[in-house]
Amino acid sequence: MIRRLNLNGLAVTLVHQPDARDAAALIQVKAGSHDEPDRWPGLAHLLEHLLFTGSQRWPDRDRLMSWIQANGGRVNATTLARHSAYFFEITAARFGDGLARLHDMLCAPLFETAAIKQEMAVIDAEYRLLQHHVPAQAEAALFSLVAEPHTFHRFQIGSADAFGANVVALQQALRDFHQRFYVASNLQLWLQGPQSLDDLAHLAQRFAETLPQGQVQLTIPPLQLLPEMKPHAMLSEGVAQYWHSWILDAQWSDNVTLLREFLLDDAPGGLMASLRQRGIASEIELKWLYQSDKQLWLVAIFTTEQPDRLSQSVQHALQAIGETCEEQQMHYLQLAQQRFNALSPLEQLRQRVLGFAPAEPKRFHAFIAALQAAPSATLFCSNAVYSNKALGESVKTQGFELSLAPRETAPQRQSAVTAFAFYPLKTELICSPLPTAAVTLLHLASDKAATLILRPEFFSNLSESGEACAKRLRPLFATLRHVGGGGEWREAQGVWQLTLRLPDNQKLADWALEQVADALADNRSGSDPQQPESIAIRELLKRLPQHLTSASSPTCWRAVLCGGSEALHHVIARRLATFSLPVNPLLRSAPLSSRSGVSRIDHPGRDNALLLFIPLDQRHPLAALRALAQIYEPRFFQRLRVEQQIGYVVSSRYLRSADHDGVLFALQSPNLSVGRLLQHCKRFLRSLDNEIATLDIEALKTQLRVDESNAALTALRREQGLHDMTQTSIDALTLGDLQQLHTRLTNQRRRWRVLFTAGR
């Protein structure tokens, strides 16, 4: 249920989501990087940072970011070309308190000189980090093909050099920008949660009552590409990619999500299945490059080394999509709605405002025709495009220095048009006979569709073949989506896990499980070498699971079924008996200690990054660890990121990785050595001894929440003697438990797991 209001000049959208546990807010300002004065490139980005550093009512720890972190929520912001957005998610009971803090940070920022200097340094470090970030370079390369407006070429991230040394002048520029654009008529507020529409409206009314008033008048010049522009190729590191973009009139916005659903479909007969089968491309991503009230710039990013063959296939696919009937379009729109419904309240709001929320298509055939005729810019990125940088022209744009050269398209023989097939389709399912034997399969009652969870034996993983399995299972999952089911094979908490959603159709379930059995029995890695993440700390997070467990090859599978009929349960249990590894053997999983030690991870970046994982000793309650992590998170950020400015990545949180529970500390710095970063972690832990001894344990316990999002996996863990945090364990928690565990985490350093990269 949705309600739209205008309150005191503020445009408000309210979304009632009765099944949600949390509530989310997003406020968008119609001002971004393109609205900055030419004198101050990066000003909008700096303002975004500064608003989180304190406001009149909440100048310090209790401000929005610290308060959200302390209460287990999520908060973030983004600065785009024509918009800036601030958003958070928190439990419904604390939503009003969060909105009050959001209001104060937007309306009454402090703009303190010390905070400005601090955030200038952070943004400067972020700018240096992005110099080696291939997606940022690719966007800048596409923006270099724009003739008007000139703001597409202007430096937008911000840096110490761009901001300059005159902090007083910069402070005044920030105030002027804020005063001009942060007024009610230039803001849009979205609220979503389990509260009734009337309750949400009351919260919105309180938010709007004291917003500053004013009118903003802007003339946004139309986006135009360079005349007679030719596609360009960029010399860059990383996987070869082809960026194909279209500039559209904003009237077509309601059709883009439906187009995206057609293009993302992995089922046999669709574009991606055809591209993979012919070895042309392996992945696709759609994103917005630019959004204004009148124009949209959409890009499809393909992983490919054959841009010319790909371009021809995309043209054929668009032609076929443009010929689909209304029944097919409504079918794919339903799939887009299902994808959207699976998101959290916060992610739904972000898609509504900044991404791809489902909408009833308007003149879809005309939209496809307009897309094919739209101004288009393409970019081929590959480290193999030119072996000599001198062959490319050095172009400076948006603070990047890029090697660009015209890409001449190879002459193409007119190939036969690919035959595409769109759902709904009638498919004949053929299965081998079921065995008489059946595995022991835990069956949990549920009124939702049957969902099978299958994962490797606890404390083991599929380090080599997990990615290859994901590729083999992709067509199956896509086919199931078209018949009311679906599935995922992905790393969950550092372990590859199958989540298979099945309609209550025994033949279909049996067929799907047989496809899964074949995919998992094929233990070939079959994957291309994985490129490292461009940001060092992300690479360390990706590597952590394999460095915690010594068992990379499982001896069995563990499975549980949630929902579905008894007859379906029996079919699944029999089919699971045909898997190449035993499923649910009677022998219980044996808990293994996590591997400790220090490991250096090779990474091409120039920063020093540190990942410290401190595992929980099983003799201590998980509730104590979760409570300590909640204490560490805001304090770690405040002291090392805000007060000491250690680096631009400063994070601490609870983490379960490869079945090991622990607390994580992550740091990345362009200046400090790995040894210094580790010393800061040690010093931080030691500094909390007295503070933990004086905590209000009862108040802390009210902030802990039992995770009810995956009852099936929780039941499977319990069956194997592995427990999760319960309300009973929270109620039993004492201050002594926290002190004892904190001392153990701090002092038993031989159990620590440290991963690091050292800049070059």
Q: What is the DSSP string of 468-520?
A: HHHHHHHHHHHHHHHTT-EEEEEEETTEEEEEEEE-S-HHHHHHHHHHHHHHH
Domain end residue (candidates: 541, 576, 611) = 576
Sign of the C-alpha dihedral computed for residues 276, 279, 283 and 285 taken in this order: negative
pLDDT at 388 over 50: no
Q: What is the mean pLDDT of residues 686-709?
A: 89
Question: Are the beta carbons of 35 and 158 closer than 8 angstroms?
Answer: no
Q: Which pair of structure tokens corresponds to residue 244? A: 């194909």
H or E segment to which residue 369 belongs: helix 364-373
Residues 493 and 358 in one domain: no
Q: pTM for this structure?
A: 0.88
**pLDDT tens across 48-103, in order?**
999 999 999 999 878 999 899 888 899 999 999 999 999 999 999 999 999 999 99
**Cα 50 to Cα 105: distance, rounded to the nearest angstrom:** 9
**Cα 424 to Cα 265: distance, rounded to the nearest angstrom:** 13
**pLDDT tens across 330-353, in order?**
999 999 999 999 999 999 999 999
Q: For residue 390, what pLDDT is reported?
A: 44
Q: For residue 707, what pLDDT is reported?
A: 80
Q: For residue 618, what pLDDT is reported?
A: 80
Task: Look at residue 449 and tell me if it is in a domain.
Answer: yes
Q: Number of H helices and number of E strands within the chain?
A: 25, 25
Question: Are the beta carbons of 543 and 617 closer than 8 angstroms?
Answer: no
Strand 495-502: give its sheet, edge to edge: 442-444, 557-562, 450-456, 495-502, 486-492
Residues 184 and 233 in one domain: no
Residues 447 and 390 in one domain: no
Length in residues, the chain: 760
Q: How confident is the model at residue 387 (pLDDT cuts 50, 70, 90)?
A: very low
**pLDDT tens across 733-750, in order?**
999 999 999 999 999 999
Q: For residue 760, what pLDDT is reported?
A: 59
**Cα 156 to Cα 277: distance, rounded to the nearest angstrom:** 41
Task: Look at residue 590 and tell me if it is in a domain.
Answer: no
Q: What residues make up the domain containing 314? A: 226-406
DSSP one-letter code for 427: -
**Cα 550 to Cα 659: distance, rounded to the nearest angstrom:** 12
Residues 536 and 627 in one domain: no
Residues 329 and 461 in one domain: no
Sign of the C-alpha dihedral computed for residues 518, 519, 521 and 525 taken in this order: positive
Q: For residue 130, what pLDDT is reported?
A: 83
Query: In this prediction, what percent of the chain has a pLDDT beyond 70?
Result: 94
Q: What is the mean pLDDT of residues 575-589?
A: 92
Higher pLDDT: 5 or 706? It is 5
pLDDT at 502 over 80: yes
Residues 173 and 262 in one domain: no
Residues 657 and 525 in one domain: no
Residues 365 and 295 in one domain: yes
Q: What are phi and psi of 548, to 5 degrees?
A: -95, -30
Q: For residue 60, what pLDDT is reported?
A: 82
> Per mean pLDDT, which range of 454-458, 488-492, 710-714 is the poorest?
710-714
Question: Are the beta carbons of 664 and 653 closer than 8 angstroms?
Answer: yes
Q: For residue 738, what pLDDT is reported?
A: 95
Residues 494 and 638 in one domain: no
**Cα 683 to Cα 665: distance, rounded to the nearest angstrom:** 13
**Cα 333 to Cα 265: distance, rounded to the nearest angstrom:** 12
Q: What is the mean pLDDT of residues 284-306?
A: 95
Q: What is the mean pLDDT of residues 188-203?
A: 97
Q: Which pair of structure tokens corresponds to residue 387? A: 């072996």
b (16+ CB within 10 A) / e for 578-608:
bbebebbeeeebeebebbbeeeebebebebb
Please report how the helices 113-130 and 167-181 are oriented relative to each other, as an axis angle in degrees rounded to 10.
Answer: 90
Q: Which pair of structure tokens corresponds to residue 499? A: 């989540």
Q: How confident is the model at residue 117 (pLDDT cuts 50, 70, 90)?
A: very high
Q: What is the mean pLDDT of residues 579-585?
A: 94
**Cα 613 to Cα 478: distance, rounded to the nearest angstrom:** 36
pLDDT at 385 over 70: no
Domain end residue (candidates: 164, 179, 208) = 208
pLDDT at 155 over 60: yes
Residue 228 is a catalytic residue: no
Task: Look at residue 79 and tell me if it is in a domain.
Answer: yes
Q: For residue 517, what pLDDT is reported?
A: 93
pLDDT at 234 over 70: no
DSSP string covering 165-195, please? S-HHHHHHHHHHHHHHH-SGGGEEEEEEESS
Task: Look at residue 662 and tell me if it is in a domain.
Answer: yes
**pLDDT tens across 34-60, in order?**
999 999 999 999 999 999 999 999 998
Higher pLDDT: 697 or 463? It is 697
CATH of the domain at 58: 3.30.830.10
Residues 266 and 204 in one domain: no
Task: Look at residue 548 and tell me if it is in a domain.
Answer: yes
Task: Look at residue 588 and tell me if it is in a domain.
Answer: no
Residues 15 and 152 in one domain: yes
Give Cα separations from 726 to 626, 668, 704 (angstroms): 11, 34, 10
Residues 609 and 557 in one domain: no
Q: For residue 415, what pLDDT is reported?
A: 62
Cis, bond preceding 424 (omega within 30 deg of 0): yes
Cβ neighbours of residue 99 under 8 Å, at least 6 residues apart? Answer: 25, 191, 203, 206, 207
- As for how many domains the chain has, the answer is 4
Query: In this prediction, what percent of the chain has a pLDDT beyond 90?
Result: 69
Give the active site residue among 48, 126, 457, 514.
Answer: 48
Domain end residue (candidates: 208, 237, 253) = 208
**pLDDT tens across 649-665, in order?**
899 999 999 999 999 99
Task: Look at residue 423 and tell me if it is in a domain.
Answer: no
> Per mean pLDDT, which range of 66-75, 358-367, 675-684 is the poorest?
66-75
Mean residue pLDDT across the chain: 90
> Per mean pLDDT, which range of 167-171, 480-484, 549-553, 674-678 is the poorest?
549-553
Task: Look at residue 726 and tell me if it is in a domain.
Answer: yes
**pLDDT tens across 604-621, in order?**
878 899 999 999 988 889
